[in-house]
């Protein structure tokens, strides 16, 4: 019996990872509504039926990506960190995972963008933490914690959401390490000024 060369043998985990990488790029470039399963499959070099087989289709694949982001978030979003450091960590995470950041922006731009029950639960938990931070004096009592969270989301994703503005205003490459370091430091300083 003849065996296939090692590179041609089936490797489900490697195939899934190729699909995930291709999906991050496709969803990041076009959002959920604009992304096509056939394009993701072509980018991954696989048959599009494998997306249904491994992930249950486009929705399941998107859910896999959001689950991965939330898992990665637990690694850099230390709830014990001071708010300025936490904000800077989100800037760095968005810069390191630009396509994930773009996915979030696209989700917000899509009319009727959905929040999964899991994400809703995470957001409510984060809002409760912001209220605790306010009670602990990390920012003034006259600032609405929910509005501050929205502002921090916008701040942390600005390098991904507005690369054209970064190029003009900061005269920098929004994907560069130099810009990321500078911008993360500036966000940290800005948020530090909220402390009464």
The Cα–Cα gap between 7 and 143 comes to 57
Q: Please report where in the chains the tokens 């701040």 appear, as a residue.
A: 155
Domain ranges of the chain: 1-66, 77-196
- Cα R_g (the chain), whole angstroms: 20
Q: What is the pLDDT along the chain (196 residues), one digit of tens a residue?
A: 444 444 445 788 899 999 999 999 999 899 888 899 999 999 999 999 999 999 999 989 988 988 888 888 878 888 889 999 999 999 999 999 898 888 888 887 876 666 677 778 888 999 999 999 999 999 999 999 999 999 999 999 999 999 999 999 999 999 999 999 999 999 999 999 999 8
User: In CATH, what number does 77-196 get?
Assistant: 1.10.357.10
| Among 190, 196, 122, 114, CA closest to 156 | 190
The class of domain 1-66 in CATH terms is mainly alpha
* Other Cβ atoms within 10 Å of 116 Cβ, number: 13
Tokens 């992930």 label which residue?
55
* pLDDT value of position 44: 94
How far apart (Å, rounded) are the C-alpha atoms in residues 36 and 51?
Answer: 11
> Which pLDDT score is estimated for 6?
47
| Rounded Cα distance, 28 and 31, in Å | 6
- 80 DSSP assignment: T
Helices (H), the chain: 12-34, 37-44, 49-55, 58-76, 83-96, 98-109, 117-135, 145-161, 163-169, 177-192
Question: What does the pLDDT read at residue 4?
Answer: 46
């Amino acid at each position: 019996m003849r065996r296939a060369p090692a590179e041609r043998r089936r490797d489900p985990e490697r195939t899934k990872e190729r699909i995930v990488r291709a999906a991050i790029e496709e969803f990041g470039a076009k959002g959920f509504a604009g992304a096509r399963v056939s394009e993701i499959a072509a980018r991954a070099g696989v048959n599009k039926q494998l997306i249904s087989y491994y992930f249950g289709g486009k929705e399941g694949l998107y859910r896999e990506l959001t689950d991965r982001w939330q898992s990665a978030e637990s690694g850099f979003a230390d709830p014990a960190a001071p708010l300025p450091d936490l904000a800077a960590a989100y800037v760095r995470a968005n810069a390191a995972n630009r396509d994930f950041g773009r996915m979030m922006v696209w989700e917000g731009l899509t009319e009727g963008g959905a929040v999964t029950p899991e994400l809703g639960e995470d957001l409510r938990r984060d809002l409760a933490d912001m209220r605790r931070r306010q009670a602990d004096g990390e920012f003034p009592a006259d600032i609405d914690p929910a509005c501050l969270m929205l502002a921090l989301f916008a701040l942390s994703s600005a390098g991904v959401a507005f690369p054209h503005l970064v190029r003009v205003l900061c005269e920098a490459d929004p994907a560069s390490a130099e810009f990321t370091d500078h911008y993360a430091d500036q966000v940290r300083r800005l948020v530090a000024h909220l402390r009464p």
